Each structure stands twice: as C-alpha cells, then as structure tokens.
C-alpha cells in the first residue's frame, strides 16, 4: 500500500502540470496579498483572521480547480484502460481507490500549504508579524471542508463521467456570483467581509455563526464519505 501511495503521489506531483499550477497559484496569491489583503477587510488589520480568511476564500477557487485536476489523472480514458492491470494486483479495487483518493488529498494539501506559506512570507516581510496561532482556526475552517468536499464529490463524479470534473470546476466561480446566505458565506468569502461590520466593534475577535460551522462540518463529512464511495453506475468504454 505504501508503495502504491508513493507511486501515485509521484505521478501527481512530479510533472509539468503540478509545477505550472504551483507557479500560477503563488503568482495569483501574491497579487491578492499585495493588492487586496494589505488593505484589510472591513476596517480590520491585514493580518487579522478576517483579512486572512478573505485571502483564503479568494484562493479557494484556484485550489478547488487544482484538486479536481489531480483527479483527472485517475478518471481519464487511458486510466480506465489500465484498470485491468490494477485488478490483477493483490490490492482490492476499494483499497486502490482509497489510496488514489489519499494521494490526491496529499497533493491538494501540499498546494494549500504553499498558499499558507506565501501568506507567512508576506506577513513576515511586510509587517514583521508572526503570530500564526491566531490564524490556524480560520485556515482549517476555510480550506479543509470545501477541499475535502471537492475531492470526494469530484472523484465520485469523475468515475461516473470524466467530463463532469471539468463542469464541477466551475462551481466556485458560480458561487462567487451568487448572493449566498450567511451559513454558506465561507464558500464565497462574504462572511469575512460582512460579519466584522455586523459585530459593531473595531477589529472584532474572530467568530463564526453556528450555521456556518455546521455547513462546513457537513461539507467535510460528505466529502470524506464520497471519497470512499463507489458509484453504482459505471462508465461505458
């Protein structure tokens, strides 16, 4: 299992696509930090959890697309033709599917870590600020649930029809254009802009509505479940 996991991770990370994705992500992230985050969100400091969360939400569509692109390695027609070889190994199809899911999760986590490290470099170099303990909770709540959901739902859809992955990549863009309710505000970043103003104090302590936390937990659970699920309908070759 370890060898298969290492092989799948190497296949995902040691290619031109991954390095190109990293460069695009870092370039876009720096533009967001230098042009939007540096101004602060809703009268908060640039390094406040609110401004940091807004930065992560702006990066989320790109991370979502990256996560789904990782899955295209496992759902393409060429990959389907290799399934006869993988079925001949002593590893069960369910275990092999799980290993692939975790390798895509590892690649996505590495990409998200680069987004966090970029912010650390920016905050340290621009403001001499290193109090990262205050930003761990907004980072986990903002990134983990939607990215796990992206992987789980994307893997499920990709096994039904590979082209559905490319349609699913448009979801974050659609959410940015919609007036979402407060409980879905972490999906388009609106909660980080509106809630500090609603609290009525200057640079308030970080807190989220209970409904928002419930939605994020639901996304995490559903995404993990879909990552383990096997579609009933198989793709016709």
20-50 pLDDT, tens digit per residue, is 999 999 999 999 999 999 999 998 999 999 9
Instruction: Kindly write down the DSSP assignment for every residue of 69-125, as one continuous string.
Output: HHHHHHHSHHHHHHHHHHTTSSS-HHHHHHHHHHHHHHHHHHHHHHHHHHHHHHHHH
Q: What is the pLDDT of residue 235?
A: 45
Would you say 143 and 58 are in contact if contact means Cβ atoms under 8 Å apart? no
Burial environment of residue 30 by CB neighbours within 10 A (0 to 12, 13 to 18, 19 or more): middle
> Per-residue confidence at 237, pLDDT binned at 50, 70, 90?
very low
> Residue 176 has what pLDDT?
86
CA distances from 109 to 3, 102, 112, 113, 114 (A): 20, 10, 5, 6, 9
pLDDT single digits (tens) 105-138: 999 999 999 999 999 999 999 999 999 989 999 9
* pLDDT tens by residue, 71-90: 988 876 666 655 655 555 66
pTM of the model: 0.90
- pLDDT band at residue 70 under the 50/70/90 scheme: very high
> Is 158 in contact with 75 (CB distance < 8 Å)?
yes
- CA 84 to chain centroid, in Å, comes to 31
pLDDT digits (tens, 9 = 90+) for 180-193: 898 999 999 999 99
């Amino acid at each position: 299992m370890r060898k298969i996991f290492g092989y799948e991770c190497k296949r995902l990370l040691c290619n031109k696509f991954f390095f190109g994705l990293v460069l695009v992500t870092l370039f876009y992230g720096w533009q967001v930090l230098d042009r939007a985050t540096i101004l602060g969100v809703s009268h908060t400091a640039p390094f406040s959890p609110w401004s940091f969360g807004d930065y992560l939400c702006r990066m989320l569509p790109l991370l979502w697309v990256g996560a789904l692109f990782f899955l295209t390695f496992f759902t393409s027609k060429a990959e389907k033709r290799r399934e006869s070889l993988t079925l001949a190994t002593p590893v069960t199809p369910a275990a092999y599917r799980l290993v692939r899911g975790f390798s895509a999760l590892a690649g996505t986590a590495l990409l998200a870590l680069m987004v966090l490290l970029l912010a650390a470099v920016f905050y340290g170099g621009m403001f001499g600020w290193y109090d990262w303990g205050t930003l761990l909770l907004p980072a986990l709540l903002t990134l983990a649930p939607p990215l796990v959901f992206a992987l789980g739902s994307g893997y499920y859809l990709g096994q039904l029809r590979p082209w559905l992955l490319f349609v699913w990549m448009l979801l974050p863009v659609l959410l940015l254009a919609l007036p979402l309710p407060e409980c879905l505000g972490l999906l388009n970043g609106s909660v980080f802009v509106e809630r500090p103003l609603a609290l009525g104090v200057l640079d308030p302590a970080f807190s989220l509505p209970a409904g928002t936390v419930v939605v994020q937990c639901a996304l995490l659970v559903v995404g993990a479940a879909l990552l383990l699920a096997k579609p009933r309908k198989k793709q016709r070759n």
